[in-house]
Chains A and B, each alone.
Chain A
Amino acid sequence: MPSAKPKPRTAGISLAKAPTGIQGLDEVTGGGLPKGRVSLVCGNAGCGKSLLAMEFLVHGALRYGEPGVCMNFEETEEKLTANVASLGFDLRALARQKKLLIDYVFIERNQITEAGEYNLDGLFIRLAHAVKTIKAKRVVLDSVQALFAGVADSAILRSELQRLFRWLEDQKLTAIVTGEAGVHTLTRHNLEEYIADCVIALDHRVTEQISTRRLRIVKYRGTSHGTDEYPFLIDEEGISVVPITSLALTHKALIERVSTGIPALDEMMEGKGFFRGSSVLVTGTAGTGKSSMAANFVSAACARGELCLYFTFEESPSQILRNMRSVGLNLERWVRKRLLHFNAMRPTSTGLEGHLAAIHKLIARQRPSIVVIDPITNLISASGSYDVKSMLVRLVDFLKVAQITSIFTNLTFAGDPQARTAAAVSSLMDTWIVLRDSKPNGRPKRELYVLKSRGMAHSRVARELIVSDRGLELGSLLGDHSMDGAEGGAAKVALGE
Chain B
Amino acid sequence: MKKSATKKRTARTRRDFFILRLYIAGLTPNSVTAISNLKNICETKLKGKYRIEVVDLLEKPQLAKGDQIIAIPTLVRRLPPPVKKIIGNLSKTESVIVGLDLQPAR
Contacts and interface: CB of A to CB of B under 8 A. Distances in A.
A126 B61 contact: yes
A151 B71 contact: yes
Interface stretch (A21-29, A112-120, A225-233): A112-120
A256 interface: no
A13 B12 CA distance: 67
Contacts of A150: 70
Contact of A112 (B58, B61, B87, B98): B87
Contacts of B72: 118-122, 125
B33 A116 contact: yes
A128 B62 CA distance: 10
A103 B72 CA distance: 18
Contacts of A115: 86-93, 95-96, 99
Nearest to B76: A111
A9 to B, nearest CB: 33
Contacts of B99: 113, 115
A391 interface: no
B46 interface: no
Contacts of B65: 103, 126
Contact of B30 (A103, A105, A119): A119
Contact of B95 (A114, A117, A147): A114
A129 interface: yes
A111 B71 contact: no
A120 B61 contact: no
Contacts of B33: 116-117
Nearest to B26: A121
Which one of B30, B64, B86, B89 has the highest number of Cβ atoms from chain A below 10 Å of its Cβ?
Answer: B64
- Interface size classification for chain A: 20 to 34
A120 B71 contact: yes
A122 B34 CA distance: 15
Nearest to B64: A126
Contacts of A147: 70
A122 B89 contact: no
A444 B23 CA distance: 89
A122 B25 contact: yes
Contact of A122 (B23, B83, B96, B98): B23
B69 interface: yes
B15 interface: no
Nearest to B72: A121
A113 B71 contact: no
A196 interface: no
Contact of A114 (B25, B57, B69, B86): B86
A103 B66 CA distance: 11
A401 interface: no
A167 interface: no
B13 interface: no
B8 interface: no
Contacts of B23: 122
A239 B91 CA distance: 49
A163 B3 CA distance: 41
Nearest to A151: B71
Which one of B61, B69, B82 has the highest number of Cβ atoms from chain A below 10 Å of its Cβ?
Answer: B61
A119 B58 contact: no
Contacts of B93: 115
Contacts of A125: 25, 57-58, 61, 64, 69, 72
Nearest to B62: A129
A64 interface: no
Interface string A87-128: 000000000000000010111100111111111111101101
Which one of A107, A121, A129 has the highest number of Cβ atoms from chain B below 10 Å of its Cβ?
Answer: A121
Contact of B98 (A113, A116, A121): A113
Contact of B89 (A112, A118, A120): A118
A408 B71 CA distance: 60
Nearest to B34: A116
Contacts of A129: 61-62, 64
A373 B33 CA distance: 72
B83 A118 contact: no
A172 B78 CA distance: 37
A239 B98 CA distance: 49
A172 to B, nearest CB: 20
Interface in A119-177: 119-123, 125-126, 128-129, 147, 150-151
B88 to A, nearest CB: 3
A115 B73 CA distance: 10
A119 to B, nearest CB: 6
B49 to A, nearest CB: 20
B7 interface: no
Nearest to A103: B65
A157 B87 CA distance: 13
Given A122-B23, A125-B61, A125-B64, A117 B89 contact: yes
Given A115-B96, A122-B74, A125-B25, 16 more contacts: A108-B68, A111-B84, A111-B85, A114-B88, A114-B92, A115-B89, A116-B89, A118-B74, A119-B72, A120-B71, A122-B25, A122-B71, A123-B70, A125-B58, A125-B72, A151-B71
8 contacts: A115-B86, A116-B90, A116-B95, A119-B72, A120-B72, A121-B57, A123-B71, A129-B64
Interface of B: 23, 25, 30, 33-34, 37, 57-58, 61-62, 64-65, 68-74, 82-93, 95-96, 98-99
